[in-house]
């Protein structure tokens, strides 16, 4: 039982992380563009999802959308809910990364004839990796832990399994301690890996990092 | 080749360029001098639309440069060398040179590398092709930046104070490369304080002050017998 819940948590977390990275990069890039409408759009997204509780967002998708006739599986709600919520935070991280790159880089790229999308992709975003990786890992760890919100809508994730195990066996202590241990086993290696990666980059200032968001997601 | 017509530029209330009219012929080496804040950098940056003029026209090869066509037109015609080099720090020297040719000019990797090596040889840095910019001296970085500009094989290269950020002992190596380039049929527009360079290389010198072109002429005229008071004053300060 715990095994299934654990796997479900990993699946939801992995897919939600990919979604959060994709949304975060898109909205992070948009929020640094010159277009006011686009910037406003990114602002609304970030403020809305950062300033309302994840639980309510997930309840809304579970109950609210169902009333509107859109019935999503708990799994999909987990991925969308957690992914969109953390996408807002990733967007802020990406934005900070982009604004920390010197304006000379953009000018060099423009003078060579790169378009906005092209210079973001080839020149600016790859340079932000070093800067955004530590806060991004924090996000990934938080994201994994936040998938436990699924327990509140019977998500069959690790937290839900712990809940039902505890209430049926009345072994509350061992059940939650074990669930906590499994979350730790997921999050701790990730945090450690990221710390080492960061150290390595610091030592090797000239390191070359390919920019591929999916690559980071897979490691979780 | 490049024509500025009645170009005015404001930054907020600040009137930086005042009715600039200027034509650069194909293959010409034009040097722009003047005190800081005189608008010379802005003039050059208008030539590739890094700054859009508030009014007036920039015409490249008979075609007016606009917000719409700037990327296409710039991509075909001009390259720029900056005061602070602006090499891409996450890429090797060779990759700095091949990025635009591969992504924008759709060269194959092999063709781009071949070209890049040729131009690295021109600036005398063949042995550095796998180095990262941060491991090079300022003078070397600027030579790579020049090679990067050459590698896109544009007809025009714009230089915005290319030696101002360099340590004095590395200025000459960059100037030597630029003097070498001036023998080619490339149109060069150079903003600089290096009067020795201007004297050797320039077909024409322009003196700017307070957003206006005050005087223009051959280098001999300029350095031996300038007609305007302000030019004389500036040169007396800078030549000493």
Query: Model confidence over B133-184: pLDDT tens digits?
Result: 999 999 999 999 999 999 999 999 999 999 999 998 999 999 999 999 999 9
Residue A62 has pLDDT above 60, yes or no: yes
Flag whether residue A112 sits within 8 Å of chain B, measured between CB atoms. yes
The domains of chain A, with CATH numbers, are 2-215 (1.10.3720.10)
Q: Which residue has the higher pLDDT, B128 or A169?
A: B128
Sign of CA dihedral A165, A166, A168, A170: positive
| Dist CA B45 CA B30 (whole Å) | 15
Ordered DSSP codes for B173-199? HHHHHHHHHTTSS-EEEEE-S-HHHHH
Residue B209 has pLDDT above 90, yes or no: yes
| Dist CA B54 CA B2 (whole Å) | 18
Cα–Cα distances in angstroms (integers) from residue A77 to residues A24, A56, A60, A217, B16, in the given order: 18, 12, 10, 19, 56
Residue B71 has pLDDT above 90, yes or no: no
pLDDT at B112 (0 to 100): 96
Within 13 A of A159's CA, how many CA atoms are on the CB side? 18
| Dist CA A137 CA A190 (whole Å) | 7
Record: contact B104-A114, CB cut-off 8 A = yes
Record: contact B86-A118, CB cut-off 8 A = no
3 state SS of A212 = coil
Band of residue A219 on the pLDDT scale cut at 50, 70, 90:
very low
pLDDT at A143 (0 to 100): 92
Residue A206 has pLDDT above 50, yes or no: no
Report DSSP state, residue A68.
Answer: T
Record: contact B135-A122, CB cut-off 8 A = no
pLDDT at B89 (0 to 100): 94
Q: Scanning every residue of chain B, which has its alpha carbon at the shortest distance from the alpha carbon of A206?
A: B132
Band of residue B221 on the pLDDT scale cut at 50, 70, 90:
confident
Flag whether residue A105 sits within 8 Å of chain B, measured between CB atoms. yes
Which of A184-193, B61-70, B202-211, B215-224 holds the top average pLDDT? Answer: B202-211
pLDDT at A214 (0 to 100): 38
- Chain A residues lying within 8 Å of B151, measured CB to CB: none
Cα–Cα nearest to B91, from A207, A114, A216 = A207
Phi-psi group of B82: left, alpha or beta (phi > 0 → left; psi -120 to 50 → alpha; rest → beta): beta
Total Cβ atoms within 10 A of residue A64: 12
Q: What end-to-end distance do the CA atoms of chain B give, in Å?
A: 35
pLDDT at B240 (0 to 100): 64
Record: contact B79-A112, CB cut-off 8 A = yes
| Dist CA B60 CA B71 (whole Å) | 12
Mean of the per-residue pLDDT values of chain A? 85
Q: Counting beta carbons within 10 angstroms of the beta carbon of residue B131, is it exposed (0 to 12), middle (13 to 18) or buried (19 or more)? A: middle
Poorest-pLDDT segment among A111-120, B98-107, B204-213, B230-239: B230-239
| Dist CA B24 CA B44 (whole Å) | 12
Flag whether residue A208 sits within 8 Å of chain B, measured between CB atoms. yes
A2-30 and A36-50 helices cross at what angle (nearest 10)? 150
Poorest-pLDDT segment among A146-150, B41-45, B121-125: A146-150
* Long-range contacts, stretch B16-23, CB < 8 angstroms, 24+ apart: B16/B42, B16/B211, B17/B42, B17/B43, B17/B46, B17/B53, B17/B211, B18/B210, B18/B211, B18/B212, B19/B56, B19/B212, B20/B46, B20/B56, B20/B212, B20/B213, B21/B213, B22/B206, B22/B213
Band of residue A203 on the pLDDT scale cut at 50, 70, 90:
low
Strands B204-209, B29-33: parallel, antiparallel or unpaired by DSSP? Answer: parallel
Mean pLDDT value of segment B13-31: 94
Residues shown for chain B? 240
Of B50, B90, B92, the CB nearest to A110: B50
Total Cβ atoms within 10 A of residue A83: 23
| Dist CA A160 CA A74 (whole Å) | 12
Mean of the per-residue pLDDT values of chain B? 92
Mutate to test the interface with B, among A35, A104, A108 (most CBs of B within 10 A): A108
Mean pLDDT value of segment B75-102: 94
pTM for this prediction: 0.83
Which of A161-170, A190-199, B65-74, B114-123 holds the top average pLDDT? Answer: B114-123
């Amino acid at each position: 039982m715990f095994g299934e819940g654990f796997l479900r948590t990993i699946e939801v977390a992995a897919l939600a992380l990919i979604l959060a990275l994709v949304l975060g990069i898109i909205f992070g890039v948009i929020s640094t563009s010159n277009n006011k409408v686009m910037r406003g759009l990114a602002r609304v997204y970030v403020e809305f999802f950062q300033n309302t509780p994840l639980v309510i967002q997930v309840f809304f998708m579970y109950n609210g959308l169902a009333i509107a006739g859109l019935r999503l599986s708990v799994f999909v709600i987990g991925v969308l809910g957690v992914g969109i919520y953390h996408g807002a935070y990733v967007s802020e991280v990406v934005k900070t990364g982009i604004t920390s790159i010197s304006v000379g880089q953009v000018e060099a790229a423009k003078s060579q004839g790169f378009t906005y999308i092209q210079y973001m992709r080839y020149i600016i975003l790859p340079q932000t990796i070093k800067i955004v990786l530590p806060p991004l890992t924090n996000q990934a760890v938080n994201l994994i832990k936040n998938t436990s919100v699924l327990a509140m809508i019977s998500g069959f994730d690790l937290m839900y399994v712990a809940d039902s195990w505890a209430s049926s066996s009345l072994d509350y202590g061992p059940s939650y301690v074990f669930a906590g241990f499994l979350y730790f086993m997921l999050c701790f290696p990730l945090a450690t890996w990221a710390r080492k990666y960061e150290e390595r980059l610091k030592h090797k200032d000239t390191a070359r990092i390919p920019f591929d968001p999916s690559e980071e997601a897979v490691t979780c | 080749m490049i024509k500025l017509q009645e170009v005015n530029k404001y930054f907020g209330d600040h009137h930086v360029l005042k009715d600039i009219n200027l034509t650069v012929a194909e293959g010409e080496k034009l040097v722009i001098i003047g005190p800081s804040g005189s608008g010379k950098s802005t003039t050059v940056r208008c030539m590739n639309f890094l700054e859009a003029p508030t009014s007036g026209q920039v015409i490249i090869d008979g075609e007016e440069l606009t917000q719409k066509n700037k990327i296409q037109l710039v991509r075909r015609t001009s390259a720029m060398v900056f005061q602070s080099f602006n090499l891409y720090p996450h890429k090797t020297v060779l990759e700095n040179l091949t990025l635009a040719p591969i992504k924008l000019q759709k060269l194959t990797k092999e063709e781009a590398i071949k070209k890049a090596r040729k131009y690295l040889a021109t600036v005398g840095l063949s042995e550095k092709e796998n180095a990262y910019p941060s491991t090079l001296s300022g003078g070397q970085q600027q030579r790579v930046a020049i090679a990067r500009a050459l590698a896109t094989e544009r007809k025009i290269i714009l230089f915005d104070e290319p030696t101002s950020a360099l340590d004095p002992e590395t200025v000459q190596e960059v100037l030597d490369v630029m003097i070498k380039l001036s023998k080619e049929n490339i149109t060069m527009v150079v903003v600089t304080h290096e009067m020795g360079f201007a004297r050797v290389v320039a077909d024409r010198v322009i003196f700017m002050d307070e957003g206006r072109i005050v005087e223009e002429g051959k280098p001999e005229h300029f350095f031996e017998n300038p007609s305007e008071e302000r030019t004389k004053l500036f040169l007396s300060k800078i030549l000493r």
